[in-house]
Amino acid sequence: MAQFTPEAFRNELISILVYWEKYGQDKDKGGFYGRVGYDNKPVANSAKSVVLTGRILWTFSMAHRLFKQVNYLTLADRAYQQLIKNFVDEEHGGVYWSVTADGKPADSRKQIYGQAFAIYGLSEYYRVTNFPPALEKAKQLFSLIEKHAFDDTNGGYREAFNRNWTDTDDYILSKKPWIKSMNTHLHLVEAYTNLYSVWPDKHLKQQTANMLDTILIHIVDNETNRMELFFDATWKPKDHVISFGHDIEASWLLYETAEVLQDKKLIEKVRQNSILMAQAAVTGLSRDGALNYEYDPETKITNTDRSWWVAAEQMVGFYNAYELTKQEHFKIKSQKSWDYIITEFVDKDRGEWFGTVKEDGTPVKGDKINFWKCPYHNSRACAEMWRRLERKK
């Protein structure tokens, strides 16, 4: 059984940071690589995503906040420069979805999910640097999202736009009429929450609280305590596919938002929802302690792959439920999640975590770094568990 201690999580966090410092930096073209293979070698001329860049910026900013080490700040500076130099659209505002290896616009759409991770990274960078241009850029992105994406009739936010913020019918992960998604709202409220922690603006607080309500009313099914994934403008769901990882991730992220907003009524409301969502996610667990990826109730097909980000989020989500309820079974589930991570996900030969592990424990030897494979879920999970266990001492 893996050690379930603050030191264990601190050490794994450091291991993750060491990997990204060693293999992530693009010494030739600047910034960080867009893709690094299983062999830890960069894949030539791979595009770079704003999601990956924003998450790297957040990760090393967070690392500097915790460790106060100059090398982490240097890496955060590197990610910041990449974001500002290559991703910011000086003509139309906002950030591109992706750029080429040389830093030229590749996919210039304004995906709100991408804008969210830019805000998330910029606000954390500002937290540790007090560098005014970083906060100003985050505030500009907030204003653009509110101007173009907020639906003042039905609530919530549209998924994506063309480069000049006109309508598009291709949202990368969905198409019309499914113009709203769970995933975008979950990470947008996360980004707004982080921004509010460094910029306590009244309008930002109002919109963050409104979005939290929108998620609880329209995205979380109050009968199943699970989240629907895609919606039309009036919140009609596309289907009822269950994403166990997103459910358990939301169970603690939404509670964190309520705490940061310091609204007692909202905290108590979200507390109950968080517990119910964690309880619902339990049905996705297998005997080995890992969550399955997805379940489609219409086809009755379960995707039994285990994903690195799901493993990280379930560990924090179940421990959060334990803290809220003091029910020992939630703590045990969190401990089993950590056991599975250490046994199956941590690549002891090449570093970092495998992206996917099959049901029988076989790792899929895929990219260590790509559009979506980043240092955010696992580093954040380790930092969260370190913090939560440290305060128990």
So what's the pLDDT on residue 318?
98
So what's the pLDDT on residue 172?
83
Query: Which has the closest alpha carbon to 50: 89, 90, 92?
Result: 89
Residue 220 has pLDDT above 80, yes or no: yes
Cα separation, 60 vs 128, whole angstroms: 10
Q: Which amino acid is at 64?
A: H
CA angle 345–314–326, rounded 5-degree value: 130
What is the arithmetic mean of pLDDT over 78-99? 98
pLDDT in tens, 164-184: 999 998 888 888 899 999 999
Cα separation, 229 vs 226, whole angstroms: 10
pLDDT in tens, 330-342: 999 999 999 999 9
So what's the pLDDT on residue 175?
87
pLDDT in tens, 27-44: 999 999 999 999 999 998
Domain boundaries, the chain: 6-390
Q: How confident is the model at residue 89 (pLDDT cuts 50, 70, 90)?
A: very high
What is the arithmetic mean of pLDDT over 254-280? 97
Residue 259 has pLDDT above 70, yes or no: yes
State which fold the 6-390 domain adopts.
Glycosyltransferase (1.50.10)
Residue 393 has pLDDT above 70, yes or no: no
What is the arithmetic mean of pLDDT over 288-302? 97
Query: Which has the closest alpha carbon to 110: 95, 91, 88?
Result: 95
Residue 358 has pLDDT above 70, yes or no: yes
Contacts of 156 (CB under 8 A, 6+ apart): 150, 180, 185, 211, 214, 218, 231, 235
